[in-house]
Amino acid sequence: MNNPNLVEEMRKISRDPLPTRSPSEIERLIDDLMSKMYLTEKIGQLYETGFDEHDVTGTNYDKSKTPMLIKQGLVGSIIGTHNQQALYRLQKIAVEDSRLGIPLLFAHDIIHGCKTSFPINLALACSFDADLVEKVSQATAFESSHSGVNMTFSPMVDLSRDPRWGRVMEGNGEDPYLSSVLATAYVKGYQQDDLTSYDTIAACVKHYIGYGAAEGGREYNTVDMSEAKLRQYYLPPFEAAVKAGAQSVMSAFNTINGVPASANKKWLKDVLKGELGFDGFVISDFTSTGEVLNHKIARDQKHVAEVCLNTGVDHEMIATTYIDYLEELVTEGRVSMAAVDDACRRVLRVKYRLGLFDNPYKNIYINQEDYWQLPEFLQLAREAAQQSAVLLENKNSILPLSPTTTQTIALIGPLGNSQKTMGGWNGKAWFEDTVTLYKGLQEAYPFANIIQVDGCDLEKPINLELDRVHEVVQQADIVILAVGESLHWSGEAHARANLDFVGLQPQMVEAVLSHGKRTIMVVFGGRPLILTPYKDRVDALVYAWLLGHETGHAIADLISGRVNFSGRLAMSFPYAVGQIPVYYNALPTGRPQHGHYTGDFYFSRYIDIPNEPLYPFGYGLTYSTVDYSSPDVSKKLVKTSGDSVDVSFTVTNTSSVAVYETVQLYIEALYYSVSRPVNELKRFEKVWLDAGESTTITFTLKSTDFGYVVENDQFTVEPVPFFIKVGPASNQTKKTEISLIEG
């Protein structure tokens, strides 16, 4: 219910530019403020609670207490920013009624769009386009910063090689280099170069660390791996985000080698704050501090508070161990005043950087709708979706399907006319704004006769309409299948042990394929699904992920050829669930399939499926054919330190269709002091090529690009030979050899 007085006040919130304060001035302001703070008020800065039930569900906080806690200076931040009046009221209490008037920080989960829904992050990663990701993040920040958000819990950079884990949808896939480049793009897009701006928000990079390696892909499960592997694969995207200026890092739910990530001195204090020099604040995941008790490394909640604060968690989300016990713990000497001061300083530092002390209401807008879904954002969402979908099969060039066709098209499958292709973790976006594939096809094919049939239920194994399916397929000249997973089957707490299409869809697909009609299969999902049964039986196979609000328009643009495909897989597609984890940058083993061992039996393999994934990292078809020259190098000998080498190659579009080509550069160590992967992505770029156009690409590799973390956890660059490989996919490359030499 709008309170007219509040609304009038909110309309008068100043939008004057805020002063940019130097780091030293901010530290002085913090010193001055902290000199006045009671211990309880310092502890209050370490607590994030919820307020609007719409945002924060099933938790152990009592929202009715929140205003009183704020007045006592016992709340540092709020998660959930839907109700602008509520935010304004809470901030007024903090600023006007608490003793020192320290402003609240408002945070929200906005990871692939705020009110404009962009493709899920794993789909965006398939664009291999950092500029695009930065633009998407800027648009997301704009909509967020004008609707109460000071900080978003994004980017999620958990590397994952296991599609059984539902949260692969939120990440950047299986490669540390791709994820590092995109992590930087997200942070720069959210924060740009001015955190006091009314158009930017702070980034919170998550989930530190190793969450994507949960055993069995089972949600919240144990993580156990060498430090060298964590440093080589899981740490780089966090390092990139911190270097890009991320203001917060979220500690994860999982254990790392037996120690919970939210109570982990080594990774939080020694590595993140020590080695990486992170000077923002570490926030726990949702009650992940309290759950340290479940991990059984603390005897009670008071002990939890001691362990978590002392190991580097600065800000506790929803759990209340800090405000319940830290004062006692300091009095008892189990937590030092210095530790509380450091955590408090980190939170205040981010608040000052955001300009919240100069304008606590800077991101609160009573007319937030005016800043949402601007035409340019919807156009960007369409372009992002076009670049995120991946063409996996296109036999006899059945695609593109001419937009002037007058044929009868049967659109069959429960995702054909569903708005649940938007993606989970959808911020403040509404399903109702999603353009379905059906709607997109109707607009793109005005002369075709499109018959749309669900064929079965989307979520449950019910309502199989085989008679209707057979009837429609018989009438059709061409079939478009729209199958897979809705957004309800991936995301947090949605691990799957089976990666088939959901419910009775497989049966429904078999009915369709029994007719032998020309068939285009469009698959939706938040993760790689098992496509093996269909790969050789459909004429075209499009992986549409979950593409946000512009789903239907983008897929129709691609199928009709108005836009060419350009997506490449950021995650390998397993041949079978039993093959997981399968990833491109694997070690060769002592008996590689194409190794030196004679005989074709005794090598590292399965006897019932091929070794390779069904579709590898970096793979994706387009409507064009592009020729790659072998790479030339500026030198054959590269020093192990302080040196660089230019790698040049020519790409030629030998087709009549322009293409946005995703060129990739990999390296392979011919040997090293530890066994290294058979392939390591080190550069990529999207290059526009008109029909017939050639262009020469040059990448510069530095000595450190050839380095690796070895068994003593040290990063080394060793004087050994390397292949440098270029091509359109990890398994389609041309190579040349160079050698690193001491120097």
Catalytic residues: 285
Whose tokens are 């005016």? That residue is 370
Candidates 433, 434, 451; CA nearest to 442 is 451
Other residues' Cβ atoms within 10 Å of the Cβ of residue 652: 15
CB 728, min distance to ligand GLC, A: 34
CB 346, min distance to ligand GLC, A: 18
Sort strands 47-50 and 77-79 into parallel, antiparallel or unpaired: parallel
Residue 285 within binding range of ligand GLC, rule CB under 6 A: yes
**CB nearer to ligand GLC: pick between 281 and 286:** 286
**CB nearer to ligand GLC: pick between 283 and 504:** 283
**CB nearer to ligand GLC: pick between 106 and 708:** 106
Residue 47 within binding range of ligand GLC, rule CB under 6 A: no
Quote the CA–CA distance of 499 and 454 in Å, as a whole number.
20
CB 318, min distance to ligand GLC, A: 8
Token pair for residue 51? 């307020």
Which residues 457-496 are close enough to bind ligand GLC by CB under 6 A?
492
Token pair for residue 449? 């006769």
**CB nearer to ligand GLC: pick between 76 and 414:** 76
Q: Determine contact, residues 480/517, Cβ cutoff 8 Å.
A: no
Residue 545 within binding range of ligand GLC, rule CB under 6 A: no
Quote the CA–CA distance of 733 and 628 in Å, as a whole number.
8
Token pair for residue 645? 């080498």
**CB nearer to ligand GLC: pick between 109 and 465:** 109
Which residues 642-671 are close enough to bind ligand GLC by CB under 6 A?
none
CB 366, min distance to ligand GLC, A: 25
The H-or-E segment that residue 39 falls in is helix 39-44
**CB nearer to ligand GLC: pick between 278 and 286:** 286
The H-or-E segment that residue 205 falls in is strand 202-208
Rounded to 5 degrees, φ, ψ at 687 are: -125, 125
CB 291, min distance to ligand GLC, A: 10
On the 0-12 / 13-18 / 19+ scale of CB atoms within 10 A, 96 is exposed
CB 350, min distance to ligand GLC, A: 16
Which residues 104-123 are close enough to bind ligand GLC by CB under 6 A?
109
Using omega within 30 degrees of 0 as the cis cutoff, is the peptide bond preceding 209 cis? yes
Region of residue 101 (left: phi > 0; alpha: psi -120 to 50; beta: else) = left
Quote the CA–CA distance of 394 and 458 in Å, as a whole number.
26
Interaction pattern, residues 124-163, with ligand GLC; x per rule: CB under 6 A = -----------------------------x----------
CB 287, min distance to ligand GLC, A: 8
Other residues' Cβ atoms within 10 Å of the Cβ of residue 576: 16
**CB nearer to ligand GLC: pick between 80 and 616:** 80
Among 106, 118, 142, 286, binds ligand GLC (CB under 6 A): 286
Quote the CA–CA distance of 521 and 272 in Å, as a whole number.
45
CB 405, min distance to ligand GLC, A: 44
Which residues 303-332 are close enough to bind ligand GLC by CB under 6 A?
none
Query: How distant, in Å, are the alpha carbons of 112, 422, 434, 494, 549 from that of 426?
Result: 7, 8, 12, 15, 10
**CB nearer to ligand GLC: pick between 129 and 492:** 492
Among 146, 206, 353, 553, binds ligand GLC (CB under 6 A): 206
- Angle of helix 236-243 versus helix 176-191 axis, rounded to 10: 20
**CB nearer to ligand GLC: pick between 5 and 60:** 60
Q: What is the 3-state secondary structure (H, E, C) of 537-558?
A: CCCEEEEEECCHHHHHHHHHHH
**CB nearer to ligand GLC: pick between 263 and 645:** 263
The H-or-E segment that residue 202 falls in is strand 202-208
Sort strands 316-317 and 390-394 into parallel, antiparallel or unpaired: unpaired
On the 0-12 / 13-18 / 19+ scale of CB atoms within 10 A, 229 is middle
CB 315, min distance to ligand GLC, A: 12
- Total residues interacting with ligand GLC, rule: CB under 6 A: 6
CB 491, min distance to ligand GLC, A: 9
Q: Which residues form the interface with ligand GLC (CB under 6 A)?
A: 109, 153, 206, 285-286, 492
